[in-house]
Amino acid sequence: MNILVINCGSSSLKFQLIDSDSEKVLAKGLCERIGIDGSRIVYQPAGGEKETTEAPMPTHTEAIKLVLDSLIDANKGVIKSLDEIGAVGHRVVHGGEKFAKSTLITDEVIKAIEECNDLAPLHNPANIIGINACKELMPNTPMVAVFDTAFHQTMPEEAYIYGIPYEYYEKYKVRRYGFHGTSHSFVSKRAAEMLGKPYDSLKTIVCHLGNGASICAVDHGKSVETSMGMTPLEGLIMGTRSGDIDPAIVEFIAKKENKTAEEVLKILNKESGVQGISGFTSDFRDIEEGIEKGNKRAKLAMDVFAHRVVRYVGAYIAQMNGVDAIVFTAGLGENDKTIREMVCSHLEFLGVKLDDAQNSKRGEDLIVSTDDSKVKVLVIPTNEELMIARDTLALI
Ligand code: ADP
Cα end-to-end span (Å), the chain: 11
Task: Indicate if ligand 1 lies below 6 Å from the C-beta of 331.
Answer: yes
- Arithmetic mean of pLDDT over the chain: 96
Q: What is the location of CATH 3.30.420.40 in the chain? A: 2-147, 196-384
Class of domain 196-384 (CATH, top level): alpha beta
200 is catalytic: no
Which pLDDT score, from 0 to 100, does residue 7 have?
A: 94
Is the separation of the CB atoms in 60 and 50 below 8 Å?
no
Per-residue pLDDT reduced to its tens digit, 175-186? 999 999 999 999
Identify the band that residue 392 occupies on the pLDDT scale cut at 50, 70 and 90. Answer: very high
Task: Indicate if ligand 1 lies below 6 Å from the C-beta of 148.
Answer: no
Looking at the chain, how many residues does it have?
396
> What is the pLDDT averaged over residues 228-238?
97
Please tell me the distance from the alpha carbon of residue 329 to that of residue 384, in angstroms, as a whole number.
11
Per-residue pLDDT reduced to its tens digit, 125-169? 999 999 999 999 999 999 999 999 999 999 999 999 999 999 999
Task: Indicate if ligand 1 lies below 6 Å from the C-beta of 117.
Answer: no
Helix-then-strand count for the chain, H and E: 15, 14
Task: Indicate if ligand 1 lies below 6 Å from the C-beta of 335.
Answer: yes
Please tell me the distance from the alpha carbon of residue 32 to that of residue 29, in angstroms, as a whole number.
10
User: Which atom from ligand 1 is nearest to the alpha carbon of 238?
Assistant: 14
Which pLDDT score, from 0 to 100, does residue 108 have?
A: 96
Give the Å distance between the CA of 282 and the centre of ligand 1: 10
Which pLDDT score, from 0 to 100, does residue 341 have?
A: 97
Which pLDDT score, from 0 to 100, does residue 363 have?
A: 83
Per-residue pLDDT reduced to its tens digit, 248-267? 999 999 999 999 999 999 99
Please tell me the distance from the alpha carbon of residue 322 to that of residue 395, in angstroms, as a whole number.
34
> What is the pLDDT averaged over residues 310-315?
98
pLDDT above 90 for 121: no
Q: Return the CATH number of 2-147, one of 3.30.499.10, 3.30.465.10, 3.30.420.40, 3.90.580.10.
A: 3.30.420.40
Is the separation of the CB atoms in 304 and 277 below 8 Å?
yes
Per-residue pLDDT reduced to its tens digit, 68-88? 999 999 999 999 999 999 999
Percent of the chain with pLDDT strictly greater than 70: 100
> What is the pLDDT averaged over residues 374-383?
97
**Residues with Cβ within 8 Å of residue 105, at least 6 apart in sequence:** 90, 131, 142, 143, 144, 145
> What is the pLDDT averaged over residues 16-27?
97
Is the separation of the CB atoms in 89 and 60 below 8 Å?
no
Task: Indicate if ligand 1 lies below 6 Å from the C-beta of 284.
Answer: yes
Give the Å distance between the CA of 336 and the centre of ligand 1: 9
Please choose from 280, 332, 362 the residue to mutate so as to test ligand 1's pocket, defined by most ligand atoms within 8 A of CB: 332
Give the Å distance between the CA of 382 and the centre of ligand 1: 12
Q: Which residue minimizes the CA distance to atom 27 of ligand 1?
A: 332
pLDDT above 90 for 123: no
Task: Indicate if ligand 1 lies below 6 Å from the C-beta of 179.
Answer: no
Give the Å distance between the CA of 303 and the centre of ligand 1: 17
User: Which atom from ligand 1 is nearest to the alpha carbon of 286?
Assistant: 16
Task: Indicate if ligand 1 lies below 6 Å from the C-beta of 290.
Answer: no
Give the Å distance between the CA of 284 and the centre of ligand 1: 7
User: Which atom from ligand 1 is nearest to the alpha carbon of 212?
Assistant: 3
- Model's pTM, two decimal places? 0.94
Per-residue pLDDT reduced to its tens digit, 318-363? 999 999 999 999 999 999 999 999 999 999 999 999 999 999 998 8
Which pLDDT score, from 0 to 100, does residue 283 have?
A: 94
Among the listed residues 148, 219, 336, 391, the single catalytic one is 148
Give the Å distance between the CA of 180 and the centre of ligand 1: 15
pLDDT above 90 for 10: no
Please choose from 211, 309, 334, 360 the residue to mutate so as to test ligand 1's pocket, defined by most ligand atoms within 8 A of CB: 211
> What is the pLDDT averaged over residues 274-288?
96
Which pLDDT score, from 0 to 100, does residue 9 have?
A: 85
pLDDT above 90 for 122: no
User: Which atom from ligand 1 is nearest to the alpha carbon of 239?
Assistant: 14
